[in-house]
Structures are given as C-alpha cells and as structure tokens.
Amino acid sequence: MTSTNGKLHILGLGGTLRERSTSRWALQRALQAAEAAGATTELLALYDLNLPMFIPDKPVEEYDPSVVRLLDAARKADGLLISTAGYHGTLVGATKNALDFLEFLSEDERPYLHERVVGLIATASGELAGVNAINALVHTVYALRGTVAPLLVPIPRPREVFDAEGQVVNEKIAGRLDQLGRLVAETVGKFASSVELEP
Ligand SMILES: Cc1cc2nc3c(=O)[nH]c(=O)nc-3n(C[C@H](O)[C@H](O)[C@H](O)COP(=O)(O)O)c2cc1C
C-alpha cells in the first residue's frame, strides 16, 4: 500500500467531457466524504485531462503528458472513485478509454488496479443507462484486478439532484455518495492494515 503523509490516498476519476458534468459533481461529493473519513484525495476530471484515444502498441512516451498524469495518479492511489454517465444505454466511451490506458500498469509490482478498492458512480437521464454503465464498469474493474466497493451509486434524473452550482440537493443521493466515499476510504484502510497471509 502507498500513502501520502501517512494517509491513504483516493483518486477520483471521471466526469464526462461536458463542462457542467453531473457525474463529476457526484464524484466531487463522494471524494469530499472520503477526505472527511481521513484519506487524501485527488480529482482527475476527464474534461480537464483531455486524454487522447488509447492506441495499442503505441509507446507511452509518444502520448500527450495527460496520459502520464493519469498513470502516475493511478499508481499512487490506494483506492479509486470512478464516476461515469450513461450514453446510449451504457458507460461513456471517454471513461472506458481512460481505463484502457491502465494497460500501461500491467507490468507494475501492483499490476492494473490490484489491491485497490474502487467505488462506482453513474449519472443518466433515465433509470436504466446509469445502472448498465455501473454494471459494465464492474466487469472492467474486475478485469483490471480491482476490488469493487459493495455499494453502487447510479443517479437517475440528475437535473433533479444537483443545483446550478453542482451541489447535491437530493438528500438520499447525497447520503449514498457520502456513504460510498466513506466506505472506500474505510475499506482501503482495512486492506492496508490486514494481516499478510503465510506463503
Ligand atoms: C450522446 C448521449 C447519449 C445519451 N444516452 C442516454 C441513454 O441512453 N440513457 C439515458 O438515460 N441518458 C442518456 N443520455 C443522458 C446522459 O446520461 C445525461 O445527460 C448525463 O447527465 C450525462 O452526464 P454528465 O452530466 O456527467 O455529462 C445521453 C446523453 C448524451 C449526450
């Protein structure tokens, strides 16, 4: 496990490529809860990161520095909060593209998202796309050897959930996002202090 100043570190990754992204607002809320629970946090909003497309076999040195920024942040993280949105029935392509770049972590001592707890959030206008997006992300996180936190937060009808400044005005959703942020921070803490198994 890594830590910053002795604290466990949670990376928030996501939002869409829309400036006023509700999935980024949701992520910010959950990250605040993780921080309140004692973790250090970092937000990597895909809108700010502006990643190129992942191209298999292209060396990391040939990519835009945003890719190295993502990889460094993922390497440093003890846990992640990933927030996406539902596009055409499932997760936004930009989120999946960002996660495809984690292929560059395949040879790490902790490959991919190994030993990282990952909390999942998705906003979508309707009832189904956010759930589908989260379910798709569950498979991706498992494929990347991460551990999915046992609380999934799909957020339907985001227009009714956030105010104009991006604050969560729906108490039930606010509670779920807070619970998820806390859960990821606490679970990461338990992972870090768990007894090593005998070889
Ligand atoms: C191209 C596109 C496709 C979308 N497809 C769906 C969909 O299939 N189901 C749905 O419920 N909402 C759909 N939406 C609505 C988004 O899920 C909703 O606007 C969400 O808040 C976007 O996330 P953001 O606020 O983080 O950008 C779509 C939006 C766009 C732009």
- Residue 84, pLDDT > 90, answer yes
pLDDT tens, position by position, 174-199: 999 999 999 999 998 887 776 666 66
* Domain assignment of residue 199, yes or no: no
Q: What is the CATH number of the domain that holds 156?
A: 3.40.50.360
* Domain assignment of residue 41, yes or no: yes
* CA of 158 relative to ligand 1 center, distance in Å: 10
CA distances from 157 to 70, 77, 134, 166, 173 (A): 29, 31, 16, 14, 11
Report the pLDDT value the prediction gives residue 79, as an integer from 0 to 100: 97
Report H helices in the chain: 22-36, 46-49, 65-76, 93-100, 128-143, 171-193
* Domain assignment of residue 198, yes or no: no
Domain that holds residue 125: 12-192
Give the least confident one: 3-12, 23-32, 47-56, 105-114: 3-12
* Domain assignment of residue 146, yes or no: yes
**Distance, C-alpha 98 to centroid of its chain:** 10
* Domain assignment of residue 70, yes or no: yes
CA distance 175 to 186: 16
* Domain assignment of residue 7, yes or no: no
Number of domains comprising the chain: 1
* CA of 48 relative to ligand 1 center, distance in Å: 19
Please work out whether the CB of residue 18 comes within 6 Å of at least one atom of ligand 1: yes
- Whose C-alpha lies nearest to ligand 1, atom 14? 87
Please work out whether the CB of residue 129 comes within 6 Å of at least one atom of ligand 1: yes
* CA of 7 relative to ligand 1 center, distance in Å: 35
pLDDT tens, position by position, 106-148: 999 999 999 999 999 999 999 999 999 999 999 999 999 999 9
Q: Enter the tokens of residue 109.
A: 């001592």
* Domain assignment of residue 197, yes or no: no
* Domain assignment of residue 45, yes or no: yes
- Whose C-alpha lies nearest to ligand 1, atom 11? 126
76-95 mean pLDDT: 98
Percent of the chain topping pLDDT 90: 90
